[in-house]
Amino acid sequence: MKKLLFVLCALFALNAFVGDVATAATPSDRAVKVIVTPDHLDWNYKCGEQPVFKVLALKHHTPMQNVKIKYEISEDNMPAHKKGSMVLKAGEGEIKLGTMKVPGFLRCKVYVEDAGNTYRGLATAGFEPEKIQPTVEMPADFDEFWQKALAESAKIPLEPVLTLKPEKCTHYYNVYNVKFRNGAADYIYGIMTVPTKPGKHPAVLKVPGANVRTYDVEKNLADLKSVVTLVIGIHGIPIDMPGDVYSNLKYGALKNYNRFNIQDRDKYYYKRVYLGCARAVDVLAGLEFVDAERIAVCGGSQGGALSFTTAYLNPKVKYLYAYYPALADLTGYLHKRSAGWPHLFRTSSDDNLRNEGVMQTLKYYDIVNFARKTRVPVKVALGYNDTTCCPTSMFSAYNMVPTAKELHILNEIGHYVYEEMDQQRNKWLLEKLK
């Protein structure tokens, strides 16, 4: 038993408290930890199997005595279909989840109250996730729609402007602010690192996660010192304004931008976003210090989705790396199962979206359909405990990829990245781009 406690603490301490809101970092450590783990090491089960989840409640790394826990069991992000409570006499116990008859995920959330605070742990069992199929349909004119959009976009000259930022340059790379046209009166802004070593270099486009914010050199990506890196924003605003500007936009003019004009496939907000990311690849390919035959795209969450769209829309992309992609299988909740961020149709507040215009629009923007059209090698990193981009939705997209693909599963992570995940991403990109 002591050995079990030690192993569980070592493996799952970082999983003690994970919020439902997307975050760029791992959750902070807390005095009370609620550790939940399945009885299969890979967290996977056959349909019909009965998982048993082990629960460990620790305070200051010591098992809590006679502590009451509450638990909820749900199918991924769906409402809990079972709730209960129990007392852990020596800080540990077991919960039987039941099973699933079809491929999917069962999640167990466990709550402990202590000194007026509530602490949560969770774990998620996968039931043959490699067999999960999407709910979204592929429209017959998907290619035609996007080829027409690309043709219209191509009429706008890129007119890229690179502005050297001497204060950000290092011995290994120079740094430039970048902007280029994305429409008659629309620009995309970003920041670029360029190796100081002369010659043509491979390039990586980093597309952004959701939010409205500033952007700077991402050191973990810029550490690819032999690679040109371009990090872009998507909202047509400069990337280096005062912070309150972005806050005002986030909660004001750009609040819920993912729903802007969603009833019209030709005016939906993401149309200019998808096309702008594709144009960023053209900017890279046109630079004299970039080898246009060695360009990759990467990103997480919304950026994971944009990685798929960009690889489809611009054939200059040769490799695709995505963390926990969003915008996948958006119609899931209409079929009584979890869907990806931004969780359309999840609550009654989205009842106004249940119309034919929205249903048609989503077919052209859902990442599942871009995954179906993927032409390049793909690697996807994800976690089973992600409640922002739920695993059901991510597997719906990943399972549709027809090309060479790799899956990096870190079962216990939520919507965040471990440092070693960035290291593995960089290693994969370097191997592909060499």
pLDDT tens column, 27-76: 777 899 999 999 999 999 999 999 999 999 999 999 999 999 999 999 99
- Residue ranges, comma separated, of all CATH 3.40.50.1820 domains in the chain are 142-433
**389: amino acid identity, one letter:** C
Report d(CA 228, CA 290) in Å as an integer.
Answer: 7
Name the packing angle between helices 269-285 and 302-313 (round to 10°). 60
* Cα–Cα distances in angstroms (integers) from residue 71 to residues 7, 48, 96, 107, 123, in the given order: 23, 22, 11, 10, 11
Query: Which pTM value belongs to this model?
Result: 0.92
Opening angle at CA 105, ends 114 and 118, nearest 5? 10
Q: Report whether 195 contacts 181 (CB < 8 A).
A: no
Q: Report whether 112 contacts 64 (CB < 8 A).
A: yes
Report d(CA 318, CA 291) in Å as an integer.
Answer: 12
- CB burial class (10 A; 0-12, 13-18, 19+) of residue 319? buried
Q: Is CATH 2.130.10.10 the right assignment for the domain spanning 2-131?
A: no
Q: Which residue has the tokens 């069962």?
A: 106
Task: Please name the residue ranges forming H helices in 217-299.
Answer: 219-222, 243-250, 269-285
pLDDT tens column, 64-85: 999 999 999 999 999 999 999 9
Q: Which residues of the chain have pLDDT under 50?
A: 1-24
Task: Extract the tokens encoding 201.
Answer: 């270099």
* Cα–Cα distances in angstroms (integers) from residue 170 to residues 96, 196, 408, in the given order: 55, 9, 32
Residues across the chain: 434
DSSP codes of every residue in 152-181: HHHTS----EEEE-GGG--SSEEEEEEEEE
- Interacting residues of 274 by C-beta distance below 8 A, sequence separation 6+: 306, 309, 310, 313, 365
pLDDT at residue 349 in the model:
82
pLDDT at residue 25 in the model:
59
pLDDT at residue 29 in the model:
78
49's enclosing H/E stretch is: none
Nearest Cα to Cα of residue 204 among 230, 237, 171, 235: 230
| Catalytic residue list | 301, 386, 415
Opening angle at CA 362, ends 356 and 364, nearest 5? 115
- Residue ranges, comma separated, of all CATH 2.60.40.1930 domains in the chain are 2-131
DSSP conformation class of 257: G
Q: Is CATH 3.40.50.2000 the right assignment for the domain spanning 142-433?
A: no
Please list, residue by residue across 358-383, b when 16 or more beta carbons sit within 10 angstroms of its beta carbon and e when fewer do.
Answer: bbebbbbbbbbbbbbbbebbbbbbbb
Report d(CA 389, CA 323) in Å as an integer.
Answer: 10
Report d(CA 267, CA 260) in Å as an integer.
Answer: 8
Q: Report whether 16 contacts 121 (CB < 8 A).
A: yes
Q: How many CB atoms lie within 10 A of CB 187?
A: 17
DSSP conformation class of 335: G
Q: Which residue has the tokens 């990806």?
A: 340
